[in-house]
Structure 1
Amino acid sequence: MTEHLTTAYWCVLVAALLPMVCAYLAKSGGMGRKPEQGGFDNHDPRAWLQRQTGFQARANAAQANSFEALPFFIGAVVIAHQLHAPQHWVDLLAVVFVLLRGLYIALYVADKPTARSLVWALGMLANVAIFFSVYR
């Protein structure tokens, strides 16, 4: 049997990289300026991020939430694979989850809390569906 990375596994990689996108967004307003001028301070990045407001603060919060969402997603995908869930469903639901997480980040940064919460809930449902996709 030849082992290969499924679409769902590729989605795990993408989901793991999404927090880095958020980190870039959070730090982007401070890039190119010296810390003395309010620019990003790589000597104390967490304290600098704590002082940010607006989209940068929201991007930092989206980063934290993206890290929080990862363990359940990774676990659901791995469990579904181990229990031989229908691959097409696992792949489809994983793609849906990643797309919803991308939309979630965009809505968080854009300060759209109601839509963001709805998209978060849909992402959670997609995750639960991956977990239970083993039941055919």
Structure 2
Amino acid sequence: MTVAEWCVFASVMLYLLTIVPVKWANAKQYDNARPRDPAFYQDGLRSRALGAHQNGIEAFPFFAAAVLLAEFRGAPQNLINELSVLFVIVRAAYVLTYVGDRPSLRSILWTLGFLITAAIFFLPLIRNYLPL
């Protein structure tokens, strides 16, 4: 497996690990029989963790598709790998700013993550113009 493919897995783990600690830390209030109970997520920190988790789910398909498309279409693997690692780092920082209630920085990081994913997606299109 390539580094980029491991980053696809890491992005799944990141959005899962965003919500699990909140549930474990509040185990007495969390009802596993009603995992989507809106009352549990009304607290500020829990609400932000849920938002970060949901955004991770939303960002995942485009990232995974971009990585697979770039690899299948013969884009330079080293660039796919480097951009994928950068995406995971940016997404981890995004989660921290989301949970930490830093909305402006969070928006900047979201935009950066989207641009990185778009760059991976378009690598096959521009590969002939890259100085490699």
Same-fold status (TM-score > 0.5):
yes
RMSD, matched Cα: 1.3
* 8 A contact 2:70–2:120 mirrored in 1: yes
CA distance in 2, matches of 1:75, 1:67: 13
Q: Which runs of structure 2 are paired with 1:37-116 in the superposition (5 Å)?
A: 39-47=29-37, 51-116=41-106
Distance change in 2, residues 1:111/1:17 (3 Å): same
1:23 aligned partner, one-letter code: I
CA distance in 2, matches of 1:14, 1:49: 30
Question: Equivalent residue for 1:13?
Answer: 9
CA distance in 1, matches of 2:39, 2:24: 11
Q: Under a length normalisation based on structure 1, what TM-score does the superposition of the two structures give?
A: 0.88
Q: Among the aligned pairs, what percent are the same residue?
A: 39
Q: Under a length normalisation based on structure 2, what TM-score does the superposition of the two structures give?
A: 0.90
Question: Equivalent residue for 2:116?
Answer: 126
CA distance in 2, matches of 1:11, 1:51: 29
Query: Structure 1: 5+ residue runs without aligned partners?
Result: 34-38
Distance change in 2, residues 1:76/1:53 (3 Å): same
Shift of 1:129: 0.4
Shift of 1:30: 1.3
* 8 A contact 2:15–2:56 mirrored in 1: yes
